[in-house]
Structure 1
Amino acid sequence: MPPLIPTQSGTLELHDITIVDQSKLKKAISAAALGNAMEWFDFGVYGFVAYALGKVFFPDASPSVQMIAALGTFSVPFLVRPLGGVFFGVLGDRFGRQKVLSTTIIIMAVSTFCIGLIPSYDSIGIWAPILLLLCKLAQGFSVGGEYTGAAIFVAEYAPDRKRGFLGSFLDFGSIAGFVLGAGVVVLLQSILGEDRFVEWGWRLPFFMAAPLGFLGLYLRHAAEETPAFQQQLEMMEREDQEDVENRPRVSFREIATRFWRPLLICVGLVLTTNITYYMLLTYMPSYLTHNMHYAEGHGVLIIIAVMIGMLFVQPVIGMASDRFGRRPFVLFGSVALLVLAVPCFRLIISGEIGLIFLGLFILAVILNAFTGVMASTLPAMFPTRIRYSALASAFNIAIILAGLTPTIAAALVDSSGNLYIPAYYLMLVAVIGIVTGIFMKETANRPLRGATPSASSKKEARELLVQTYEHIEQSVEDIDAEIARLQVQIQALEARKQQYVDLHPKLG
């Protein structure tokens, strides 16, 4: 079982179990999910208007180069996300999750809003794509601390038995943001027409970031700090008798040496989830339009319908993971992706709307298997005092490769002419997912590392206490067995040593 923080009495008792305040929990879930929805609203809008941005900011290029350049501008900000992850991760472990999340949503809202203000290439020349890139870099820096901070915020608030279900609403917000972004694009295209949309209508979705940002900031400012982080500060005060301002300091050498296995598992899960995510929800609209020659509106409508279906599946996966565990869904999703990627793309390139939708929806359900458990799985890998720093670092290193997915896929398909390239790409990712699922430890219904158990009621707290005692007893038995095994090895080594000693005249 995960290690627990010290209790005041030294023995884990009923009063040591955190009873989660339901009203505070609802605020925490809403604040985290809305911020994540805003992040993915921008990603969704950007993916669906990439063809328009290519015409506005790269007008002298061919349509293929325009598409690759626009998606490349989408991918470049992922290079600065590790910097944002390290920066906000350290701040989050020192000053709290709530303060950092309030900061990231401000940066994200302002940078997204500013994209809508950038003049076209015809107006200011090369400065147009440069300003676009600067806004995307600011987004990348803020997003470096956004998803991981929001996942930690929800996980540290959620009761142990509902962490999968409640954590699934974080990516529910992501998908909802995508749906909203795509829906706004389709609505504007139908109202304004293609010419006016490319001329100025594409700016309107980015302006929506301002009210969404203010609402998210209000919710996050109203939410209190997580119980797990408050426990960490209280433990520091009890142990060190120092001022609260002396926040925990993180040694990255310690993270890399002591927690290398969770770091690798985190990277594997993030790669598997987000490459599938970007392939399906960011690249596929461009794939359907540019490579399959569907009208922009038709391709977008199909993706919107798929995403709406994902909204219904997402919380079901999260709830099921609280009962059956997180590992089974990671393994199931990875195996399904390996086996079904090519058949799904065979359906997608068939040319029939019903088969296209079926192929995309199968991939979407596979994606749900990952997104339904990721937000509850990742925070459970690290103890409270380094959780934000470690998770943000590993997550954003992996996201560099994941964020390149639309650009790489577009370039490979364009250069080779092979429409199955995205399927082969996903099959390679599936292998990473299988390896990750094999080596990851189950965390469902367990306390977070470095935290005492948490429950939603006193009745549940009593049940958790009994369950925790059983885990402790099992851990003690496992340790005793390990000690006995080591003692046998030590005795064998002592006997071997004695044989050498007996052969030496001065040592005998």
Structure 2
Amino acid sequence: MRGFRRKTKPIELDDINIIDNQKTKKAITAAALGNAIEWFDFGVYGYVAYVLGKVFFPDASPSVQMIAALATFSVPFIFRPLGGIFFGRLGDKYGRQKVLAITIIIMSLSTFGIGLIPSFETIGIWAPILLLIVKIAQGFSIGGEYAGAAIFVAEYSPDRKRGFMGSWLDFGSIAGFVLGAGTVSFITYLVGETNFAEWGWRIPFFIALPLGIIGLYLRNALDETPVYQQHSENKVSQKPKKFSFKEVLANNKRSLMVCIGLVICTNVTYYMLLTYLPSYFSHNLGYSESHGVLIIIAVMIGMLFVQPIIGWLSDKFGRRPFIFIGSFALILFAYPAFVLLDSRVTYQIFLGLLILALSLNMFVGVMASTLPALFPTEIRYSALGIAFNFSVVIAGLTPTITATLVETTQNLMIPAYYLMVCGVFGLITAIYLKETANKPLVGGIPMATNEEEAVELLEEYHENLEQKIENIDQKIEELQEKRQKLADQHPDIQ
């Protein structure tokens, strides 16, 4: 019947989710391990790119070999949006937990598969083709991985701790990268550079399989998120809404643009620092492979300690300040950082990397808690999957574009200019971002750690509703005044 409006039940204390702390920890561990596998591969791939170039593209020059190996890293990013769309739809329809179990299987198997591919000398052109196919499968699964993992953690986290809890997701990313890079260095040390180039490079990729099995076990042991369970109950009692991608884009423009800006800024810095710089050190600056690798590993270990601190502070001061700080740091300090990297003095190289790493920490410390809070529950996975992965396509081209520009121009400061432009986009993003710290997820009920906090959150929630009602009443009053002025000019309208 037209004009019928379903009366919404008032939000009371019993409606507030009190989150079990142990379940939250398990959710974070399960989600972070999947992220660790993703970045374990990135860490390994970045540090063995020079070897992969020789194994899969032996007839090319050293410069082309490196660019080709990095391009094989970048091309699968084109398939990530397809994964985001596919798994996003499934995640919104059937739940987050089921989809994350699927993505970790595909991701660990595809990473393991890289280690099985024969060399170009053995099977010819099929070697690089198989590498590309496996990387595409990996890219497709990763398309649903990060968005789903971030949502999983956010929907398991209390409102006042979402920044701290979410920061552990990218703690897994950094830890995975450190583990990948450290594994490469350790195996190279054990077997020697000659044996590593012949067969040792395969071992790190094989390690992804047991890690994936552990991650799958942890994810299967978890229940669906409290937020999605509540959403599912509402779907049973009410007719579920159907959303087209066109509607998602039309109704969430600001949130989508903020998401895209933050993801591009974060991941361009990520891939520049963690994937491109190892090759930049060895190929362009002429450092030994181990020299640059060990310094970057040391800096990344330092990032591990900073990461949860940024998340914790963002619960106190908000997410926006850290995006502003990270953006200004890139604009002001990217160039000096790369001057330090080219100094050939160890402590100055370390200082340059530290500047870039801390800039990156500002973004990754708040990204996992910021992004899920931009969208309502019914479209959260789909919207974030689309926006995140289309943005990562752009960011994922960073190593290839930067390497090509440096080779073409012979200007070693190109990476610094790239990051400075990235910082400008970060500033614009921070300006347009509405603060999400200490607030319920969009359209959701407050989430607390205990009953006392639940009472406080309920009061804040009601106060927020009152403020919104006052704002609407004020707008109605302004519109009525405007209407009256127009009506006064017409003889037949009262």
Q: Same fold (TM over 0.5)?
A: yes
C-alpha separation between the residues in 1 aligned to 2:23 and 2:105? 22
Task: Quote the offset at 1:202 in angstroms.
Answer: 0.2
C-alpha separation between the residues in 2 aligned to 1:248 and 1:69? 46
Q: Which of 265, 290, 293 does residue 297 from structure 1 map onto?
A: 290
C-alpha separation between the residues in 1 aligned to 2:119 and 2:245? 43
C-alpha separation between the residues in 2 aligned to 1:275 and 1:495? 57
Describe how 1:491-502 pairs up with structure 2 within 5 A.
491-496=484-489, 498=490
Q: Is 1:268 aligned to 2:268, yes or no?
A: no
Partner residue, 1:487 = 480
C-alpha separation between the residues in 2 aligned to 1:59 and 1:151? 40
Partner residue, 2:379 = 386
Q: Is 1:341 aligned to 2:334, yes or no?
A: yes
Q: Which of 433, 440, 450 does residue 457 from structure 1 map onto?
A: 450
Letter in 2 for 1:339: L
Task: Quote the offset at 1:336 in angstroms.
Answer: 1.4
Q: Which of 357, 362, 365 does residue 372 from structure 1 map onto?
A: 365
Q: Which of 423, 426, 448 does residue 430 from structure 1 map onto?
A: 423
Describe how 1:250-269 pairs up with structure 2 within 5 A.
250-269=243-262
Letter in 1 for 2:11: L
Unaligned runs of 5+ in 1: 1-5, 241-246
Task: Quote the offset at 1:134 in angstroms.
Answer: 0.4
Q: Is 1:83 aligned to 2:86, yes or no?
A: no
| Stretch of structure 1 that moved more, 125-134 or 9-18 | 9-18
Describe how 1:218-229 pairs up with structure 2 within 5 A.
218-229=217-228
SS in 2 for 1:49: helix
Q: Is 1:61 aligned to 2:60, yes or no?
A: yes
Contact 1:306 1:357 in 2 (8 A): yes
Moved over 6 A (4+): 6-9
Partner residue, 1:445 = 438
Q: Which of 337, 349, 357 does residue 356 from structure 1 map onto?
A: 349
SS in 1 for 2:424: helix
Unaligned runs of 5+ in 2: none
Task: Quote the offset at 1:495 in angstroms.
Answer: 3.1
Task: Quote the offset at 1:249 in angstroms.
Answer: 3.8
C-alpha separation between the residues in 2 aligned to 1:294 and 1:350? 11
Q: Is 1:21 aligned to 2:14, yes or no?
A: no
Contact 1:74 1:136 in 2 (8 A): yes
Q: Structure 1 residues 411 and 465 mapped into 2: Cα distance closer, same or farther (>3 Å)? A: same
Contact 1:7 1:16 in 2 (8 A): no
SS in 1 for 2:155: helix
C-alpha separation between the residues in 1 aligned to 2:304 and 2:31? 17
Partner residue, 2:465 = 472
Task: Quote the offset at 1:153 in angstroms.
Answer: 0.1
C-alpha separation between the residues in 1 aligned to 2:470 and 2:242? 34
Q: Structure 1 residues 137 and 250 mapped into 2: Cα distance closer, same or farther (>3 Å)? A: same
Q: Structure 1 residues 196 and 93 mapped into 2: Cα distance closer, same or farther (>3 Å)? A: same
Letter in 1 for 2:408: S
Aligned residue pairs, count:
490
Q: Is 1:415 aligned to 2:414, yes or no?
A: no
Q: Is 1:175 aligned to 2:174, yes or no?
A: yes
C-alpha separation between the residues in 1 aligned to 2:243 and 2:140? 20
Q: Structure 1 residues 273 and 187 mapped into 2: Cα distance closer, same or farther (>3 Å)? A: same
Letter in 2 for 1:272: C
Contact 1:94 1:248 in 2 (8 A): no
Partner residue, 1:51 = 50
Contact 1:158 1:166 in 2 (8 A): yes
Partner residue, 2:145 = 146
* TM-score when normalising by structure 1: 0.94
Q: Is 1:121 aligned to 2:114, yes or no?
A: no
Letter in 1 for 2:279: S
* TM-score when normalising by structure 2: 0.97
Letter in 1 for 2:225: T
1:308-362 Cα offsets, whole Å, 9 max, x none, are 0100110000000001001111111111111111111111111111011101111
SS in 1 for 2:371: helix
Task: Quote the offset at 1:95 in angstroms.
Answer: 0.3
Task: Quote the offset at 1:179 in angstroms.
Answer: 0.3
Task: Quote the offset at 1:259 in angstroms.
Answer: 0.6
C-alpha separation between the residues in 1 aligned to 2:45 and 2:26? 29
Letter in 2 for 1:25: T
Identity %: 63
Partner residue, 1:3 = none
Q: Structure 1 residues 15 and 38 mapped into 2: Cα distance closer, same or farther (>3 Å)? A: same
